[in-house]
Structure 1
Amino acid sequence: MTGPSSHLSATADAYDAVAVLYAELFRDAYDNLPLDRALLAAFAELARGTADAGPVAELGCGPGWVTAHLRDLGLEVFGVDLSPVMIQLAREAYPDLRFEVGSMDALDLADGELGGIVSWYSVIHVPPGEVPSYLAEFRRVLAPGGHLLLAFFESEGGPVAPFDHKVTTAYRWPIDALAELAGEAGFFEVGRMLREPLEGERFRRGHLLLRKGEPAR
């Protein structure tokens, strides 16, 4: 695995510093998000139907809630995160699951090893110019026909723009622009969802469900 760039180190340090508070504050965050859960369920159904595919990875797993939810949906799944403290918390909370410290842009995985990838609000911290290299890495480790689910903050008609995320710098993306980058990286769009902000949320949420390889028939 290559050495971390400055933004990777800054992101890891920022999440290490708030990991315990983050895990406590948002532990039940998805209980009242039926659309988000429905999209994860759709991803899980597609991933289970990918013939001869490997396990699913949640990249940027934080304290492991989504990883555990995907397990409960019937997937063989593990989590990867930059933050050692987040990984420690995930291992303590879900000792039956596998969690590893690592970077999404240089995964310690063989080509085609994964049947699916979930990046749930993790590419938001990647500088926009580096996002294509992350998508290329996702494609490398996915098996043919494997699915990728991206969740992010949507720019609501504006350009890609940084914002004052509570942990560290993050970026809002126009859903069409991110979908275009994914297409250039070799992914085909299966579906998308835009969710308006709920009470206490600042921004619209974007979701892209993508497939490696030829378009589904």
Structure 2
Amino acid sequence: MDREIVKPGGQVAEDFDGWADSYEKMINQAVAFTGRDRPFYIDVKRKHILRLARRHFADLESLNVLDLGCGTGAYHPGLKGRFGELHGVDVSARSIKLAAARHAFVRYSTYDGSRLPYGDGQFSMVFTIGVMHHVLPPQWESFVAEAYRVIVPGGLMLIFEHNPYNPLMQYFIKTCEIDKDAVLLRPGKLRRMFTAAGFANVFTRTILSVPPAGAFLTRMDSLLGNLPFGAQYYLSATKKAL
């Protein structure tokens, strides 16, 4: 239900350049059957990002953070002032242009879907939301390796993905034009991939088993996180310290 990137040859960049101006409307139409709009789901995952970051780091304001596959920066207004630096990168030049015009406090870049335009160990934390299912499966390992490269030892990696075991998510994928070519990743596959890349403390939990609106349903959604019912899931992993 978010913004995506990365196929070789520039096709995804072209697709998302074309969708950038109408992206919000297209996603809202696709999720209308849930009774919630996109900002609701953005807020849910943004809260998870901040919660997991606080669990891992003592001081968020000292962090250098990258949103990998940021699209038009929909998550960034709610992250303003939370971190020392917030960066966003995407293959869609049109999306980055729109994001930069809206969020002057974020440092935006484009890239070719292969090598990120950053130095080794530049970021304390990297998060990517609704991205990997648009990476061609043969490129999954290189995508993970590149994320690993730009994270500082001891840093945190967060990935949010659609849950292929959830029937409502299967319906969403079939009816959303933006996700027409999506290849969903099973949580177990993603855990194995990150472990093989050298990450430690790799775990996944499902989210959105119930709409976490209010304290009771938020608690209920958390309790159901160990079950495979949630519409989406997140992976958390740590780059091994030297």
- Does TM-score exceed 0.5, indicating one fold? yes
Report deviation, 1:204: 2.2
The answer to whether the 8 Å contact 2:124/2:151 transfers is: yes
Consecutive unaligned residues of structure 2, counting only runs of 5 or more, are 1-5, 29-36, 212-229
Counterparts of 1:1-217 in structure 2, within 5 Å, are 7-24=8-25, 29-31=38-40, 35-46=44-55, 48-49=57-58, 55-156=64-165, 165-167=176-178, 168-189=180-201, 191-196=203-208, 204-213=231-240
Which amino acid is 1:146 matched to? G
The answer to whether the 8 Å contact 1:153/1:172 transfers is: yes
Paired with 2:146 and 2:90, the residues of 1 have a C-alpha distance of 15
Paired with 2:120 and 2:59, the residues of 1 have a C-alpha distance of 16
Paired with 1:135 and 1:107, the residues of 2 have a C-alpha distance of 11
Residues 116-153 of structure 1: CA distance to partner in whole angstroms, max 9, x if unpaired? Answer: 10111111111112111111111111100111111111
Paired with 1:49 and 1:144, the residues of 2 have a C-alpha distance of 16
1:37/1:95 CA distance change after superposition, 3 Å: closer
**Number of equivalences:** 204
1:42/1:104 CA distance change after superposition, 3 Å: farther
1:89/1:147 CA distance change after superposition, 3 Å: same
2:155 match: secondary structure? strand
Superposed CA RMSD:
3.1
1:208 match: secondary structure? strand
Report deviation, 1:191: 4.1
The answer to whether the 8 Å contact 2:64/2:86 transfers is: yes
Paired with 1:33 and 1:14, the residues of 2 have a C-alpha distance of 22
Consecutive unaligned residues of structure 1, counting only runs of 5 or more, are none
The answer to whether the 8 Å contact 1:50/1:145 transfers is: no
1:106 match: secondary structure? coil
Paired with 1:12 and 1:151, the residues of 2 have a C-alpha distance of 20
> What's the TM-score once normalised by structure 1's chain length?
0.80
